[in-house]
Amino acid sequence: MDVAATLHAPSSRSSERPGAHVDLALEGMTCAACAARIEKTLNRVPGVAAGVNFATGSASVDYDPREVDVHTLIAAVTRAGYGARVRRDEAAERDLESAQREAAWRSLRRDLAVAIVLTAPLLVQMALMFVPGATRGELLPRMLQLALATPVQFVIGRRFYTGAWRALRGGGANMDVLIALGTSIAWLWSALVTLLGMHDEHVYFEASAAIVTLVLLGKALEARARAGTSAAIEGLLKLAPRAAHVERDGREVDVPLDQVVRGDRFVVRAGEAIPVDGVVLEGHAATDESMLTGEARPVVKAAGDKVYAGTTDVDGRLRCEATGVGGATLLAGIVRLVGEAQGSKAPIQRLADRVSGIFVPVVVAIALVTFVATWFLAGDLTPAIVNAVAVLVIACPCALGLATPTAIIVGTGRGAQLGVLIRNAVALENAGRLTTLVIDKTGTVTEGTPEVTNVHVLAGRSSDDVLATAAALEQGALHPLAQAIVARARERELALPPVLDFSVIPGQGACGTLGTDSALAGSLAFLASRGVDVEPARVAHLVAPGESLVGVARAGRLVGVVALADRVRDTSRAAVAELIREGVDVVMLSGDNGATVDAIARDVGIAHAQGAMTPDAKVEAIRRRQRAGEVVGMVGDGINDAPALAAADVSFAIGAGSAIAIEAADVTIVRNDLRAVADAIRLSRATRRKIRQNLFFAFAYNVLGIPLAALGFLNPVIAGAAMAISSVSVVGNALTLRRFRLR
């Protein structure tokens, strides 16, 4: 199974949704209220379902092309006061976003430097007021204060007026409205006092300038911190080399990566990164695949083995044929999948979205009430202005908007580095809530490459005849047991009889017509359901611990049984033990016979196991547990696991499994190791903890800060500093997920 092709292909889940899909890059957003405004505007367009992610600056839009087109969507965003464009391919988009971030960072850094220089004298004067013995008079003439504060307010702070105008023009309000309104009131009052010569009144030039400067400082710190949230994906993109050593016209030439095509023969030398996905034709080398799997142990490659773009040839020379290039590599599939996950929303974010949507109007109302009440009670206009400005400044909803998406971006990115590919934020959240994990046996707990150990003859036929009959029926099936039977028949060089009316029943067996006889091969339960006497008493003594049986019948009579064994993975026992330590009830459900399933379950430490399970029976078992209130996960790797994977609350597909299983799953485990499922659960729980911590601090900050500001306990300058710190602390807390390690 080609994992790269599966990950690169468009999701079947997306195709199930009616209409078309487009991702938009958004411009002009400054806080969560902006994101809420754009999302509401898009969802008002008929035939549109949209979600906006403030942290990634993007909108994911599903729409009905019969009712609306992309130009209409962009126009709707423009009317709301923001900019939008269609996102291009990932590489070009990331290059553009990187250039835009760098240009924005240079502009922000320049403005911040000027603001600090102009604001510093004002802050020094304010600080001296708190020094014992220092003069209580104003060190700077008020006209000089006006001259210093005005460019900070209207030149450096122009971005806030621009953002506020866009939001108000679109019928909404955002953080820029709060900052522009608060600082303008402070500056306007101070300017009037200065120009009218009202020497008895205090001026607040230092407050307006300091707030603008502190908000810019917070944005600068936040921008640098948020740049780190995508470090995992940026690191993955840098793994692939710029060129490949390709054989052209009998010579080895260096070809730019975008010119390599499928079928090209290329060479990788020791110490070089592998440029594209391929299959080894000649050579022998150890490769470092830790960027895909999280495992540092080298993987030996020889003729016939697959190699992947971005992995490293450690110690040998390999000659390969390209099988996946450009966007069809496993690395590109990982980047695409993680990008989709980072742009999705977790259910826990809904509360924050609802709050952000109404937050700014409520804060403006609180500031007005504060102004009127303070003026009425104190009888003085000055404290009324100060308290109202403090309320407007401290109530910035940035921390609330960043709380969830930053944690999701860092968590999914870290998962990709460790070989855990999470499809969306819902899967990330649900994985941490699991109470029960249902696992398949073959290819999950076991190696998935069973071998025929014996052929038992039951009705006057030779073992070769029984094996040839089974192989003839199973050669069209993809199940590992079927492939093992076909492989053994080929080893013996048996002639397989032609099969007519062939059909496969996933997870059960195959049937057809051989000559004049109807023939069946599959589980004993499958044969029994077709009216075959499977002679349970006679067959029971043939089963050794850990063996699976495939019954073979002709003309309605059991003629033999093929015994197969599949070795338990070396890591399965440790994986089950780790899952149990995480408080997850592990259950094994398999289509294999009960004796084999029970033997393997006991071997790896699973207390609850059941064999002879059809795909439908697995689905019903999962739904029964869900009805009992359990959050159920499913791990599988085969076509027959796809229905159960789809039914589970969160599903995991082992990377070596079938394309259908991976497509049906919420989480793909790149390395073939059940321990990675435990890692995914731990990562999910760590991410959920960060989200809850971030939301708590964001809510607590506003719940405590707004009343303190309204009651006059917070100076506007202190409020501005606290607002900046809150956003930076939320992003910084999310970034600690980058230290998540495998056990």
Contacts of 27 (CB under 8 A, 6+ apart): 57, 82, 83, 84, 85
Contacts of 707 (CB under 8 A, 6+ apart): none
SS (H, E, C) 350-399: HHHHHHHHHHHHHHHHHHHHHHHHHHHHHCCHHHHHHHHHHHHHHCCCHH
How far apart, in whole angstroms, are the C-alpha atoms of residue 17 and residue 12? 9
Consecutive H or E run containing 547: strand 547-554
By annotation, the residues acting in catalysis are: 440
Structure tokens at 612: 């002879």
How far apart, in whole angstroms, are the C-alpha atoms of residue 9 and residue 668? 14
Consecutive H or E run containing 307: strand 306-307
Consecutive H or E run containing 611: none
Structure tokens at 487: 């492989």
Give the type of residue at 303.
A
* Residue located via tokens 């599959």: 522
Query: Do residues 257 and 291 lie in contact, with contact meaning Cβ atoms separated by under 8 Å?
Result: no
Would you report the helix, strand and coil content of the chain in percent, each value rounded to 5? 55, 20, 30
What angle separates helix 90-128 from helix 142-151, to the nearest 10 degrees? 170
Contacts of 101 (CB under 8 A, 6+ apart): 223, 227
Structure tokens at 278: 């391929």
How far apart, in whole angstroms, are the C-alpha atoms of residue 329 and residue 322? 10
Rg, Å, the chain Cα set: 33
* Residue located via tokens 């035939």: 47
How far apart, in whole angstroms, are the C-alpha atoms of residue 688 and residue 431? 10
Give the single-character DSSP code of 93. H
Indicate the burial class of 238 (C-beta count within 10 angstroms; 0-12, 13-18, 19 or more).
exposed
Give the type of residue at 453.
T
Angle at 697 (CA atoms; ends 362, 394), nearest 5 degrees: 45
Structure tokens at 454: 């014996």
For residue 521, which of 489, 491, 559 has the smallest C-alpha distance?
559
How far apart, in whole angstroms, are the C-alpha atoms of residue 218 and residue 720? 9
